[in-house]
Amino acid sequence: MESVVATEGFAKTPEPPYYAVIFTSQRTEVDNNGYDAMAQAMLALALERPGCLGAESTRNGDGLGITVAYFVDEGSIRAWQQNARHLVAQRLGKERWYSHYELRVAKVERAYSGPEGR
């Protein structure tokens, strides 16, 4: 597989330290079109934030998803969490789209890529 393909979907993050927001969520079965449109819009909006380093996101056929967004510091995360359009999305997420979620903010201390030597 060519490297241009292999790294699609991965965030190109700098050397640690930086921050990760780990969002694990279970989708309800309602409003897939509305959800998909909002999820794409929010990902694009997050990536435009000056402190956002990138994001990785995936969801399986049972609706269990994990999105990890990377930020330079805590202040950038708090600003994103208070963004007006993001607040609207968060409210709809709580009301309609997620049956459960866990949100964790973590400081990345070390990181590795692979596989080496292929």
Inter-CA distances, 44 with 47, 98, 110, Å: 5, 20, 26
Q: Is 30 in the site for a copy of itself (CB under 8 A)?
A: no
Contact pick of 20, 39, 42, 53 for a copy of itself (by CB under 8 A): 20
State the minimum distance, in angstroms, from the CB of residue 21 to a copy of itself.
10
What is the spatial distance between Cα 115 and Cα 118, in angstroms, rounded to a whole number?
6
Contact pick of 15, 50, 82, 118 for a copy of itself (by CB under 8 A): 118
Sign of CA dihedral 26, 32, 38, 42: positive
What would the x/- binding string for a copy of itself be over residues 32 to 61, using CB under 8 A?
------------------------xxxxxx
Q: Is 14 in the site for a copy of itself (CB under 8 A)?
A: no
Angle at 108 between CA 103 and CA 112, to 5 degrees: 120
- State the DSSP H helix or E strand holding residue 80, giving kind and residue range, or none if neither: helix 74-81
Place of tokens 């609207």: 88
Q: Is 109 in the site for a copy of itself (CB under 8 A)?
A: yes
Binding site for a copy of itself (CB under 8 A): 1, 3, 5-11, 13, 16, 20, 22, 24, 26, 28, 56-62, 64-66, 68, 93-95, 98-118
